[in-house]
A and B are shown apart, each in its own frame.
Chain A
Amino acid sequence: MSKRVLLIAAVAVLAALPLTFGTFWINMVITALIFSLAVFSVNLLTGLTGLLSFGQAGFVGIGAYTLGVLAKQGHPPILAGLYGVLLAMLCGFLLGLPAARLKGHYLAIGTLGFGILIYQLLTNSVDITRGPMGLIGIPTGGLDKQTWYLIMLSVCLTMLAALAYIDRYSALGVVLKMVRHDEIAAQASGINIFAVKLIAFTVSAGLAGLSGALFAAYVRFLTPDLFNEQESFRYMMMAVVGGIGSPLGGIIASLMLTMIPEGLRVLGEDNYRLLVYGTMVLFVLWFLPSGIGGLIERLRK
């Protein structure tokens, strides 16, 4: 019972916290929460199912640009966002068809190639995306930052609860973990590995697409550079620092890794701050080889 009270109190504090923040930081937190959905999508693929993806930014870009382009054409933003998620899922499914047969390094390179492909498409389809000139003034205004924060908080907490349930308590969690751990044994238990991987790709792409759609709706400005392979690496890094397979760690890591580089601006505007940042990440992995999620597990015990 006391645990539940604690949980409610924590959520209440989280909901009230931004009231004390300035615009700069609340912006940061909202963006980090939006990113954390993309980190979730990495966690779902890599953490639960054991598939390595370095192309998640591609799906984020698909979700973002679908919303951006359609909303500018006058479609209602919510519908445009939904199309974005569906298109990302379709692309995830299509990528999954060949990719679910690949393993390890080959899969990593295959997904990386997909990410680059989407980036090039976004950059070069100037007629639709305006390419490097960027998509400006996406008409999705109307919500203030407080509301955005609360929306993102509830979306993230819902995802967190759903993933934690699947991972720890559901039959599906065991199926996914069997696939990750031992494909031969999983098959012998009647699990269609290819189908499971394909579904994981599709759902993960949908989550990344949702992250992109929310990003487009919130920031209202898109350029292809926001979705290049560096972003894919960043999501992977957030998932790893957060602890692969730990959605809560993923959220914390995306908050930390978004805010720390900004906070380090006190060191000056030089890129030295990125050196400090990189060293910090290395140290986290040094002392917490299983990431923040591993630390949470240890504290729980």
Chain B
Amino acid sequence: MSVLELSGVSKRFGGLRALSEVSLSVSPGEVLGLIGPNGAGKSTLVSCITGVLRIDGGTIRFQDCDIQRLPPHRRARRGIARTFQKVRLADQLTVYENVAAGLASHWFARASGWPSVFRPLSAASVAQAVNRTLERVGLGDVSGAIVKSLPFGQRHFVEIARAIVSEPNLLLLDEPATGLTEPERERLATLVKDIAAQGCAQMLIEHDLELVGRLCNRVTVINQGHHIFTGAPAAAQREPEVVRAYLGMNLLISGGGDDACG
């Protein structure tokens, strides 16, 4: 059974068809790669799943429930977490505070949870979850640091920590490897595998095709809003339509991207 199931999802911006009839599904513990050239509609798709954008056609089912009418915060409370292409953290707050904010989806999940927001941030229930998550993403020693003081790469991990602290069922990673150093990239790879091992479904949007090939069970390729391929990463490289979509772009794709585009 899949956690997330999109069928025939379409989104228009005026005359521009950003997504046309895109279908895909992600299962628990699976890492689905979502790739495509710039402007293919990947970020639009993520916005449609998280509810920032309303779709014009098709259905979005999450854990067997139709969620397309739910506002973003309700989807988050049901267990859809995400990171952003351009990191969105509260810069002046500490790493701990930023990650604790991710627990809001628990605090507000039920009306009875509202009084819990008056608890101190250092309360055992909060501290336990936050500290465990920080250890997990390798930020245990900078818990008290102000986000602004962290190197750029580290901030990606803070965002991932904020997303997974609530133990979501689906994690959408929007270009998490951008700007990471080589060791950080390896840390990210280990983390993604670790999250998958705990049964969380993940969707990885990434330009680094080597990383996608290594981490993803399947990839979905979209181009100009159209779904053109879903299957094993290795098979994607042999698919003529995928090659055509990426043709001439291989110089822009870093790392293993060159071989992937064949």
Contacts and interface: CB of A to CB of B under 8 A. Distances in A.
Interface of A: 166, 169-175, 177-178, 181-182, 184-193
A145 B128 CA distance: 50
Given A174-B104, A190-B76, 5 more contacts: A171-B107, A178-B90, A181-B93, A182-B90, A191-B108
B108 A170 contact: no
A184 B118 contact: no
Given A184-B52, A185-B88, A170 B121 contact: yes
B97 interface: yes
Contacts of B90: 177-178, 181-182, 185
Interface string B48-78: 0011100000000000000000011110110
Given A184-B52, A185-B89, A189-B162, A175 B117 contact: yes
A174 B92 CA distance: 11
A170 B120 contact: yes
**CB-CB nearest 3 A-B residue pairs:** A190-B105, A190-B76, A185-B88
A199 B88 CA distance: 24
Contacts of A177: 90, 93, 97
B103 A171 contact: yes
A189 B118 contact: no
Contact of B116 (A171, A184, A188): A171
A192 B51 CA distance: 13
B236 interface: no
B102 A189 contact: yes
B93 A189 contact: no
Nearest to A182: B88
Contacts of A169: 120-122
17 contacts: A170-B119, A171-B121, A174-B93, A174-B100, A177-B90, A177-B93, A178-B104, A181-B90, A184-B84, A187-B51, A188-B50, A189-B76, A190-B74, A190-B105, A190-B106, A191-B73, A192-B74
Nearest to B125: A171
Nearest to B165: A189
B42 interface: no
B108 A171 contact: no
Contacts of B123: 171
B119 A191 contact: no
Given A171-B126, A178-B90, A187-B72, A192 B97 contact: no
A188 B72 contact: yes
A186 B105 CA distance: 10
B184 to A, nearest CB: 21
A191 B104 contact: yes
B117 A190 contact: no
A182 B162 CA distance: 14
B117 A170 contact: yes
B101 interface: yes
B104 A190 contact: yes
A191 B77 CA distance: 8
A169 B96 CA distance: 12
A189 B89 contact: no
A187 B119 contact: no
A188 B108 contact: no
B81 interface: yes
Nearest to B109: A190
B104 A189 contact: yes
B17 to A, nearest CB: 24
A209 B179 CA distance: 51
Among A169, A172, A177, A188, chain B packs the most CB atoms within 10 A around the CB of: A188
A171 B118 contact: yes
